[in-house]
Chain A
Amino acid sequence: MKGIPFSYTLRNLWTRKLTTVLTAGGMALVVFVFAAVQMLDTGLRQALIATGQPDNIHVTRRAAGAEISSSVDRTQAGIVETQPEIAIGPGGVRLVSKEVVVLITLPKRDTGTATNVTTRGVGEAAFELRPQLQIVEGRAFRPGSSEVIVGASIAQRFEGAAVGSLLRFGGREWRVVGRFEAKGSAYDSELWVDAEQLQQSFRRNAWSAVVARLADPATLPALKERLESDPRLTLDVKYEREFFEEQSKALSNFISYLGLTLSVIFSVGAMIGATITMYAAVANRTGEIGTLRALGFRRSSILTTFLLEAVLLGAVGGVAGVLLASLMQFVHISTLNWQSFSELAFSFALTPRIVVLSLGFAVLMGLIGGFLPAVRASRMGIVDALRAT
């Protein structure tokens, strides 16, 4: 005998609409939280991965961890600059940018909250080194002047950061002459100025970091080995991408741990909902089950039917949850990155992997929730079941 037709399962869900909607709704909310958290974590990673170029290296003081606590003095920077692995750009200049990073406090436009903003003083090669950065309004700052260009996210969120306005920090006024976009990377949350000017106004005589392009990215291990064992230098040499990934580690871990814990706890609630629904479905249909068995359907067919019903409930919830979560792609979030101690804007990013995982999670919840009731249904004796109503 063949299995019980699929339409039987579908119609069962359809007749008990309120219950189906409530159960699937609970699951949809769990899937929403599950998906949203993963989207947030992915968005954060994407922002920081987009920040680093694969063939750039990033040099900071050993164990400094973040750019703001690092200092590389002029002698050390000079040694790094003259390494043979570093690429030569057009015009024969070495592709090296010696940068100063300071934090300044700016008020946010909507709440007025004073927020730490990364201000990066860069050398002339900086734009060559970050091809993802495009000036979309105004122009670049002129070297040697008190001019500043602002990242897209800063221009949008902060008071007085529009092109043409004046910002005051480091004991002088800086004119905003341009706005740039950097493909959603961390640079979108930064201000850029001329490195020498920033150094002077903050009375620094060291750099925070040295960024350089390698002619061949595979030469990094040798270069790293040589620089890190040089007794004149106390530096950490990393791929730029690796450096920025580490910058988000704490925040990313926090988001994913919190999200995972919540998803697991919440799914317990949703699974209980599914179990209750399925137990009731089994109890209401005792007579039906008896009839089906009497008609010759096997125990395994009954088990499959009820499991299928539970899985379908989960799937409906999963689809609704993912649809709800996909709306979150329009939301941008900005928060303090603990490691760099400055503002970082990023968005929720939906990837196929998250969709698959979320749907899988929903189906799994349905399956687990429906398992015990389905087993009960399949174990019923024909005679008892028929007599029940």
Chain B
Amino acid sequence: MHLLKLILRNTLRHKLRTLLTILGLLVAILSFGLLQTVVDAWYSGAKAAAPDRLITRNSVSLVVPLPVHYRDKIRGVDGVRSVATANWFAGIYQEPKNFFPQFAIDALPYLAMYPEYRIPEDQLRDFMRDRKGAVVGRKLANTYGFKVGDVVPLKGTIFAGNWEFVVRAIYDGAAPTTDTSQFFFHWAYLNESVRARAPQRANHVGVFVVQVSDVARAAEISKAVDAQFGNSAAETLTETEQAFQIGFVKQTEAIVVAIRIVSFVVIFIILAVMANTMAMTARERMSEYATLKALGFGPGFLGSLIFGESLAIAAIGAALGVALTFPVSDWFAAQMGTLFPVFEVSASTLWSQAACAAVVGVAAAVLPALRAARVRIVDGLRAAG
């Protein structure tokens, strides 16, 4: 009890120094948490992938399309429950920086495969009736203020020209980690227009989304699908949705690695600051420590005084940093708009924040504690700040 009181009093002796150290810790723990959340956001697509969905694409690369008639052959493969088509549209809304994913889909089977996109029944009916209709995610709708009935003009990049869509439905995510920044419309509408403008490009799709009836057979079914098209003009590559999404992340891995490294650099920076604070504190109190020793307190007691103070400061800084992570990440997510479809602080981020603070608190106290434990009483009493 007395020990705790002593630690607390010690902490408050240099109010300004303690305050500044806590402030530094707060900034470091906060930015560490945000960087971890950015990394998580990078992987969000892979995390949201369902095990029963496969993606079939052209084996050459994703940008080479597949003929739409493959759909029937894939559907015929044993174990396939349903097949839907999807085309990456890459339209520009007003300005290139307003990026959000747009897909031309085979609406009925596609939406049935993604039960995590919740659409009110009447809106779904309206969407199915409107050839130029579109379904938008809640986050996307909020970012650009889309309401049901609004006309959204997009400038095509892959599919040239100006396109207009009418928002007919807004979907919500079943979980906070569901991507609600997407824009879906009817593939039939896209295909019709392409046929009129560039007939040789019509009747092609970007990928097929394949739902399997038995998750355990996913690998076998992938092989069976690809076997259908071996040695044809457009060979396919089928993988699970998760593998497909991770494929994207892997290609930008260098950036993820850089962010990870940087997020640990900030911990080292704060470790330097914190260690400095503790070193100075211990140096200034060397004569006190000698006095305590002369009174009969052992090195263990001195050690716990120093470790206790360091950990107390680290704990306060970490607690404030963790608490601030939530509002700041909400603000950050709002600023970034639809760039990060999912931006959620995960439990593991909070744990690693706490762990980092603990490590900093302990590491900063090691040298000063050793010094205090080793100091000879006579030298300590003689020491002047």
Q: Can you report 16 residue pairs joining A to B where beta carbons are below 8 Å apart?
A: A22-B275, A102-B61, A102-B63, A103-B63, A103-B64, A104-B61, A105-B59, A105-B61, A111-B253, A115-B250, A116-B63, A269-B269, A270-B269, A273-B272, A280-B284, A336-B248
Known: A275-B20, A341-B63. A269 touches B270 (CB 8 A): yes
Determine whether A38 belongs to the interface, using a CB cutoff of 8 Å to chain B. no
Contact A62 B20 (CB under 8 A): no
Contact with B along A28-72 (1 / 0, CB 8 A): 011011000000100000000000000000000111111011010
A87-95, A216-224, A260-268: which lies at the B interface? A260-268
Chain B residue nearest in CB terms to A338: B252
A-chain residues with CB within 8 Å of residue B157 when the two chains form the complex: 63-66, 69
Determine whether A8 belongs to the interface, using a CB cutoff of 8 Å to chain B. no
Chain B residue nearest in CB terms to A317: B272
Contact B250 A335 (CB under 8 A): no
Known: A268-B27, A284-B385, A335-B252. A277 touches B276 (CB 8 A): yes
B-chain residues with CB within 8 Å of residue A336 when the two chains form the complex: 248, 251-252
Chain B residue nearest in CB terms to A284: B385
Determine whether B1 belongs to the interface, using a CB cutoff of 8 Å to chain A. no
Contact with A along B11-39 (1 / 0, CB 8 A): 00000110011011001100100000000
Q: Please tell me which one of the listed residues B16, B90, B92, B268 contacts residue A29 in the complex, with CB atoms under 8 A apart.
A: B268
The interface of chain A, by Cβ under 8 A from chain B, is 18-19, 22-23, 25-26, 29-30, 32-33, 40, 61-66, 68-69, 71, 102-105, 111, 113-116, 169-171, 202-203, 205, 234, 254, 258, 262, 265-266, 268-270, 272-273, 275-277, 279-280, 284, 333-336, 341, 343
Cα–Cα, bound, A62→B158 (Å): 11
Contact A280 B265 (CB under 8 A): no
B-chain residues with CB within 8 Å of residue A62 when the two chains form the complex: 160
The interface of chain B, by Cβ under 8 A from chain A, is 16-17, 20-21, 23-24, 27-28, 31, 59-64, 90, 92, 96, 155-158, 160, 198, 200, 233, 235, 247-248, 250-255, 258-259, 262, 265-266, 268-270, 272-273, 275-277, 279-280, 284, 367, 385
Shortest C-beta distance, A296 to chain B (Å), equals 25
Cα–Cα, bound, A62→B132 (Å): 24
A-chain residues with CB within 8 Å of residue B27 when the two chains form the complex: 265, 268-269, 272
Chain B residue nearest in CB terms to A273: B273
Contact B265 A116 (CB under 8 A): no
Shortest C-beta distance, A72 to chain B (Å), equals 11
Q: Please tell me which one of the listed residues A266, A276, A343 contacts residue B251 in the complex, with CB atoms under 8 A apart.
A: A343
Contact A170 B60 (CB under 8 A): yes
Known: A63-B156, A65-B157. A29 touches B265 (CB 8 A): yes
A-chain residues with CB within 8 Å of residue B266 when the two chains form the complex: 262, 265-266, 269
Shortest C-beta distance, B219 to chain A (Å), equals 17
Contact A272 B20 (CB under 8 A): yes
A-chain residues with CB within 8 Å of residue B17 when the two chains form the complex: 276, 279-280
Known: A26-B273, A102-B61, A269-B273. A203 touches B233 (CB 8 A): yes
Cα–Cα, bound, A343→B247 (Å): 13
Known: A69-B158, A335-B252. A266 touches B280 (CB 8 A): no
Contact A32 B90 (CB under 8 A): no
Shortest C-beta distance, A349 to chain B (Å), equals 16
Contact B276 A262 (CB under 8 A): no
B-chain residues with CB within 8 Å of residue A115 when the two chains form the complex: 250-251
A-chain residues with CB within 8 Å of residue B59 when the two chains form the complex: 105
Cα–Cα, bound, A202→B201 (Å): 13
Shortest C-beta distance, A114 to chain B (Å), equals 6
A-chain residues with CB within 8 Å of residue B233 when the two chains form the complex: 171, 203
Shortest C-beta distance, A340 to chain B (Å), equals 10
Known: A265-B27, A276-B20. A23 touches B63 (CB 8 A): no
Contact A113 B280 (CB under 8 A): no
Contact A104 B273 (CB under 8 A): no
Given contact pairs A29-B269, A270-B269, A272-B24, a sample of 9 additional A-B residue pairs in the complex whose CB atoms are under 8 Å apart: A63-B155, A64-B157, A111-B250, A113-B247, A116-B251, A270-B273, A272-B21, A276-B273, A279-B20
Chain A residue nearest in CB terms to B250: A113
Shortest C-beta distance, A179 to chain B (Å), equals 22
Shortest C-beta distance, B131 to chain A (Å), equals 24
